[in-house]
Every structure is written in C-alpha cells, then in structure tokens.
A and B are shown apart, each in its own frame.
Chain A
Amino acid sequence: MWILKVFWVEMILFPIIMLYFVFNSGAWAERTLLQNAAMIMYSLVLIIASGGYFYVWNKSRKK
C-alpha cells in the first residue's frame, strides 16, 4: 500500500531533518537540556523506525 511506503519514508526522513536542525544549533555543551533531549529522542526514533521497517519487510518476505 502506497501510504505505508510514505509512512516509512517519513519516519526515516523526519528524524533526520530534526537531527540536522539540532546539530546545526551548536556543540553538545552549547545546547540546552531540551535541545539535547530532542537530539536523543530523534536518534531513538530513527533507530526504531529502521528496526520497524526491517521487521515489516521481513514479515512480508516470509509470507
């Protein structure tokens, strides 16, 4: 289904865009607690999205 393909593309691209914005805001020590928390959270989203995509891909391949 095309919408699910868009879903996975956005789940990978959106965290990358957010991480790019946070990285551009300065070094770790220069950033606020909230900015560093956002960076950690979007890194986590990226890892979970990659894992989720491979889980779904593997499940459909086995079928």
Chain B
Amino acid sequence: MEYLNLTNLVLWIHILFVVVWLGSDFVVFSLSMSLKNRDLPIDVRLDRAKLAQKFDMWVTKVFLATPLIGLSLAWLRWRSFEPLITLPWMNLKLILFSVILIMAILLITGAAGTVGVLQDIKDGEGDEEENEAILKKRVKDLAYPAITLHILLSLIIIIALVGSRMGTDMIEGGW
C-alpha cells in the first residue's frame, strides 16, 4: 500500500508521457520518411503528411507536459527543487534535456510546409522534380534533429533509471 501515493502516481504519469512521446515521435518520423517514396500514390503521401502533422500536435502536447510533470515530481519527492541542481545524474539529465529543447525548436521552425509541397505536386503546380527535391531536402534536414532527439531521450531514460537506483537514497545523491 505504500506505493499508492501521489508521488508514485505522478512518477508513473511522467514515465507514461515519456513513453508516449518517444513512441509517437517514432510514428511521425516513420510517416515523414515515407513521404520521400515516389512509388506511393500522391494521395497516400498527402494523407500521410496530414496524419504526421496531426500526430505531431499530440507529440508537442506530451513533450510540453513532460518537463512540467517532472518539476512537479521533483517537488513532491524532495519538497525542494535543489536536488535538480545538486544531484549529478539529475544535472546530466537536464543538460541532455536542454539539447532536446534545441532540437525541438529546430523541428518546429522547419516543419511547416510539407503538406503544401505535396499539395503542389498533386495539383501540378510548379516543376514536379523541383518540388520533389524540396520535399526530399526538407524531410532529410528534419531527420537529423529528430534522430538526435530520440537518442538523447533514450539516454535520459537510462540515466534516470540508473541514477535513481544507485545509492541507498535519492536524497543522499544517487551517484
């Protein structure tokens, strides 16, 4: 019964959100990569681009909620935000998360317009080859921050699992 408390509930919500975030991001990534496939009918590619856009809105919501839940969890666990700065494993997590924030900014600023390019290809607006090249470049350019984000998030999960388990008590410092 000792596991049934608010701190553990928030911890599980935090874990669930990270899993949903990483999982949904893989779906968006996979859909985006498939947009380059010219063997697929243009309607299918356009539908996939719209689906990826809708999915991405959910990824953004979960991504925005996760650090706020993390801060709430820190407060519930330690009744202070000080361990966020004093625990080395938490420091490392925060440094990696700062890179994730930079990648998210790059993705948000560069993501808009994919549906428009596909719509132009479908409607026969402009040169088809040129539009295909724009689409390919856009998908490829956004793949780098997306892959970096996935790797960093996986690392953060490992650090959180190892860091919170090492040592007898998290309050004593973990590592």
Contact partners of A1 in chain B: CB under 8 A? 57
Chain A 1-42 near chain B by CB (<8 Å), digits 1 or 0:
101101100110011011001101100000010110110011
Contact partners of A34 in chain B: CB under 8 A? 88, 91-92, 95
- Interface residue tally of chain B, by bracket? 20 to 34
Query: Shortest beta-carbon distance, B110 to chain A, in Å?
Result: 10
Q: What total of A-B pairs shows CB separation below 8 Å?
A: 72
Query: Shortest beta-carbon distance, B28 to chain A, in Å?
Result: 15
- B64 close to A6 (CB less than 8 A): yes
- B60 close to A49 (CB less than 8 A): no
- B98 close to A25 (CB less than 8 A): no
Bound CA span A18–B93, Å: 12
Contact partners of A55 in chain B: CB under 8 A? 109
Binding site for A on B (CB under 8 A): 57, 60-61, 64, 67-68, 71, 81-82, 84-86, 88, 91-92, 94-95, 98-99, 101-102, 104-106, 108-109
What are 28 A-B interface contacts by the 8 Å CB criterion?
A: A7-B60, A7-B64, A7-B104, A10-B64, A10-B67, A10-B68, A11-B101, A14-B101, A17-B71, A21-B81, A21-B85, A22-B85, A34-B88, A34-B91, A34-B95, A35-B91, A37-B95, A38-B85, A38-B95, A41-B98, A42-B98, A44-B102, A45-B101, A45-B102, A45-B105, A48-B102, A52-B106, A52-B108
Binding site for B on A (CB under 8 A): 1, 3-4, 6-7, 10-11, 14-15, 17-18, 21-22, 24-25, 32, 34-35, 37-38, 41-42, 44-45, 48-49, 52, 55-56
Given contacts A24-B85, A34-B91, 18 further A-B contacts (CB under 8 A): A3-B57, A3-B61, A7-B60, A7-B108, A21-B81, A22-B85, A32-B88, A32-B91, A34-B95, A38-B91, A41-B95, A41-B98, A44-B102, A45-B105, A48-B102, A52-B105, A55-B109, A56-B108
